[in-house]
Protein backbone atom coordinates (compact mmCIF):
# COMPACT_ATOMS: atom_id res chain seq x y z
CA UNK A 1 0.00 0.00 0.00
CA UNK A 2 1.21 3.41 -0.70
CA UNK A 3 1.63 6.06 1.97
CA UNK A 4 -1.22 8.27 0.75
CA UNK A 5 -3.73 5.42 0.90
CA UNK A 6 -2.63 4.56 4.45
CA UNK A 7 -3.05 8.22 5.54
CA UNK A 8 -6.54 8.36 3.99
CA UNK A 9 -7.57 5.15 5.74
CA UNK A 10 -6.11 6.41 9.02
CA UNK A 11 -8.02 9.72 8.67
CA UNK A 12 -11.26 7.83 7.93
CA UNK A 13 -10.79 5.68 11.04
CA UNK A 14 -9.97 8.75 13.15
CA UNK A 15 -13.18 10.49 12.01
CA UNK A 16 -15.22 7.34 12.65
CA UNK A 17 -13.69 6.96 16.14
CA UNK A 18 -14.36 10.63 16.97
CA UNK A 19 -17.95 10.20 15.79
CA UNK A 20 -18.40 7.16 18.08
CA UNK A 21 -16.80 8.95 21.02
CA UNK A 22 -19.06 11.98 20.50
CA UNK A 23 -22.14 9.75 20.26
CA UNK A 24 -21.22 8.05 23.54
CA UNK A 25 -20.60 11.40 25.24
CA UNK A 26 -23.96 12.71 24.02
CA UNK A 27 -25.73 9.69 25.48
CA UNK A 28 -24.10 10.23 28.87
CA UNK A 29 -24.90 13.96 28.78
CA UNK A 30 -28.60 13.17 28.59
CA UNK A 31 -29.28 11.73 32.03
CA UNK A 32 -32.88 10.85 32.47
CA UNK A 33 -34.19 13.59 34.71
CA UNK A 34 -36.61 11.96 37.03
CA UNK A 35 -38.44 14.71 38.91
CA UNK A 36 -37.61 14.47 42.59
CA UNK A 37 -38.28 16.40 45.73
CA UNK A 38 -35.27 17.23 47.91
CA UNK A 39 -34.06 20.03 50.18
CA UNK A 40 -31.55 20.71 52.92
CA UNK A 41 -31.76 23.08 55.84
CA UNK A 42 -28.93 24.23 58.05
CA UNK A 43 -27.74 26.78 60.59
CA UNK A 44 -24.91 29.23 60.16
CA UNK A 45 -23.99 31.34 63.16
CA UNK A 46 -21.47 33.40 65.05
CA UNK A 47 -21.04 33.50 68.78
CA UNK A 48 -19.84 36.13 71.23
CA UNK A 49 -18.86 34.67 74.60
CA UNK A 50 -18.94 37.20 77.42
CA UNK A 51 -15.76 37.83 79.43
CA UNK A 52 -17.51 39.14 82.53
CA UNK A 53 -20.20 37.47 84.65
CA UNK A 54 -22.46 40.55 84.39
CA UNK A 55 -22.53 40.40 80.56
CA UNK A 56 -24.52 38.29 78.12
CA UNK A 57 -23.43 35.64 75.66
CA UNK A 58 -24.87 36.35 72.20
CA UNK A 59 -25.50 33.99 69.31
CA UNK A 60 -26.43 35.49 65.92
CA UNK A 61 -27.67 32.98 63.37
CA UNK A 62 -29.33 32.21 60.09
CA UNK A 63 -31.49 29.23 59.20
CA UNK A 64 -31.37 28.38 55.49
CA UNK A 65 -33.68 26.11 53.50
CA UNK A 66 -32.25 25.25 50.06
CA UNK A 67 -34.10 23.35 47.35
CA UNK A 68 -31.73 20.67 46.00
CA UNK A 69 -34.35 18.79 44.00
CA UNK A 70 -35.93 19.21 40.59
CA UNK A 71 -39.39 20.18 41.88
CA UNK A 72 -40.45 23.35 43.73
CA UNK A 73 -41.08 23.38 47.50
CA UNK A 74 -44.43 24.85 48.53
CA UNK A 75 -45.33 26.64 51.76
CA UNK A 76 -42.21 26.03 53.89
CA UNK A 77 -42.49 26.22 57.68
CA UNK A 78 -39.50 26.14 59.99
CA UNK A 79 -39.48 24.91 63.55
CA UNK A 80 -36.75 26.02 65.96
CA UNK A 81 -36.46 24.42 69.39
CA UNK A 82 -34.19 25.87 72.07
CA UNK A 83 -33.14 23.79 75.05
CA UNK A 84 -31.29 25.69 77.74
CA UNK A 85 -30.48 25.37 81.40
CA UNK A 86 -30.34 29.17 81.69
CA UNK A 87 -32.94 31.81 80.92
CA UNK A 88 -32.50 33.28 77.46
CA UNK A 89 -34.07 35.81 75.11
CA UNK A 90 -34.84 34.98 71.48
CA UNK A 91 -35.03 37.83 68.97
CA UNK A 92 -35.72 37.78 65.26
CA UNK A 93 -37.47 39.54 62.43
CA UNK A 94 -40.89 37.94 62.67
CA UNK A 95 -44.33 39.14 63.50
CA UNK A 96 -46.59 37.52 66.01
CA UNK A 97 -50.33 37.51 65.36
CA UNK A 98 -51.82 40.63 63.79
CA UNK A 99 -49.33 43.04 65.37
CA UNK A 100 -47.59 45.56 63.11
CA UNK A 101 -50.00 45.24 60.15
CA UNK A 102 -48.40 48.21 58.30
CA UNK A 103 -44.84 46.90 58.49
CA UNK A 104 -43.63 44.27 56.03
CA UNK A 105 -41.86 41.54 57.98
CA UNK A 106 -40.76 38.49 56.00
CA UNK A 107 -41.53 35.86 58.68
CA UNK A 108 -44.52 35.22 60.93
CA UNK A 109 -44.65 33.15 64.10
CA UNK A 110 -47.53 30.72 64.06
CA UNK A 111 -49.17 28.79 66.87
CA UNK A 112 -49.12 25.01 66.70
CA UNK A 113 -51.24 22.99 69.08
CA UNK A 114 -49.19 21.15 71.68
CA UNK A 115 -46.14 23.34 71.10
CA UNK A 116 -44.33 25.03 73.99
CA UNK A 117 -44.44 28.81 73.28
CA UNK A 118 -41.44 29.46 75.56
CA UNK A 119 -38.86 27.39 73.72
CA UNK A 120 -40.43 26.36 70.39
CA UNK A 121 -40.73 28.74 67.47
CA UNK A 122 -42.81 27.86 64.40
CA UNK A 123 -42.18 30.34 61.59
CA UNK A 124 -43.50 30.69 58.07
CA UNK A 125 -42.95 33.30 55.38
CA UNK A 126 -45.59 36.04 55.54
CA UNK A 127 -46.26 35.70 51.82
CA UNK A 128 -47.16 32.51 50.00
CA UNK A 129 -43.77 31.04 49.20
CA UNK A 130 -42.54 28.62 46.62
CA UNK A 131 -38.84 27.74 46.74
CA UNK A 132 -37.79 27.09 43.16
CA UNK A 133 -35.13 24.64 42.04
CA UNK A 134 -31.69 25.70 43.40
CA UNK A 135 -33.29 28.59 45.31
CA UNK A 136 -33.37 29.16 49.06
CA UNK A 137 -35.15 31.07 51.82
CA UNK A 138 -33.36 32.26 54.94
CA UNK A 139 -34.57 33.25 58.40
CA UNK A 140 -31.83 35.83 58.91
CA UNK A 141 -30.03 37.34 61.84
CA UNK A 142 -31.96 35.87 64.74
CA UNK A 143 -30.33 36.34 68.14
CA UNK A 144 -30.23 34.38 71.34
CA UNK A 145 -28.90 36.07 74.47
CA UNK A 146 -28.27 34.51 77.86
CA UNK A 147 -26.45 35.52 80.99
CA UNK A 148 -22.82 34.67 81.62
CA UNK A 149 -23.45 34.64 85.37
CA UNK A 150 -23.63 30.85 85.52
CA UNK A 151 -22.35 27.87 83.55
CA UNK A 152 -25.00 26.55 81.18
CA UNK A 153 -25.71 24.65 78.00
CA UNK A 154 -27.82 25.78 75.05
CA UNK A 155 -28.96 23.52 72.19
CA UNK A 156 -30.73 24.85 69.10
CA UNK A 157 -32.42 22.39 66.76
CA UNK A 158 -34.14 23.10 63.45
CA UNK A 159 -36.72 21.27 61.35
CA UNK A 160 -38.32 22.16 58.05
CA UNK A 161 -41.83 21.25 56.93
CA UNK A 162 -43.67 21.94 53.68
CA UNK A 163 -46.75 20.87 51.72
CA UNK A 164 -44.81 18.01 50.16
CA UNK A 165 -43.25 16.75 53.42
CA UNK A 166 -45.73 17.10 56.28
CA UNK A 167 -43.60 14.99 58.67
CA UNK A 168 -40.69 17.41 58.34
CA UNK A 169 -36.95 17.02 57.94
CA UNK A 170 -34.29 17.92 60.55
CA UNK A 171 -31.58 20.41 59.71
CA UNK A 172 -28.15 19.13 58.74
CA UNK A 173 -26.70 20.59 61.92
CA UNK A 174 -27.66 21.75 65.39
CA UNK A 175 -26.00 24.40 67.53
CA UNK A 176 -24.76 23.20 70.89
CA UNK A 177 -22.94 25.54 73.26
CA UNK A 178 -21.63 24.92 76.76
CA UNK A 179 -20.41 27.95 78.70
Min mean pLDDT across 30-39, 41-50, 107-116 is at: 30-39
13 vs 33, higher pLDDT: 13
Q: Is residue 43 within 8 Å of 174, Cβ to Cβ?
A: yes
Domain 39-178 bears CATH identifier 2.60.40.10: yes
> What mean pLDDT do residues 51-57 have?
91
Look at residue 160 in the predicted model and tell me its pLDDT.
97
Classified as helix, coil or strand, 11 is: helix
Q: Is residue 129 within 8 Å of 119, Cβ to Cβ?
A: no
- Write the burial class of residue 45 (CB in 10 Å: 0-12 exposed, 13-18 middle, 19+ buried): middle
Using CA atoms in the order 17, 20, 22, 25, what is the torsion angle rounded to 10 degrees? Answer: -130
Question: What does the chain come to in residues?
Answer: 179
Instruction: Show me where the domains of the chain are located.
Output: 1-31, 39-178
For 90, list phi and psi in degrees, rounded to 5: -115, 125
Look at residue 93 in the predicted model and tell me its pLDDT.
87
Q: DSSP class of residue 105?
A: -
Q: Note the pLDDT tens digit of each residue in 60-77.
A: 999 999 999 999 999 999
Look at residue 100 in the predicted model and tell me its pLDDT.
54
CA angle 174, 50, 173 (to 5 degrees): 5
Give the Cβ contact number of residue 121 at 10 Å: 24
Amino acid sequence: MNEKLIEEKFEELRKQTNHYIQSIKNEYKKPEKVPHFSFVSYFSHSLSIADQKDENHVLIGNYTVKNTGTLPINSPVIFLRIQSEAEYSFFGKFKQGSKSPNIVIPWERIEVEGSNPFNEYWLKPTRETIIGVNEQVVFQNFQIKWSASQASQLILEGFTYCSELKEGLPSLNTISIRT
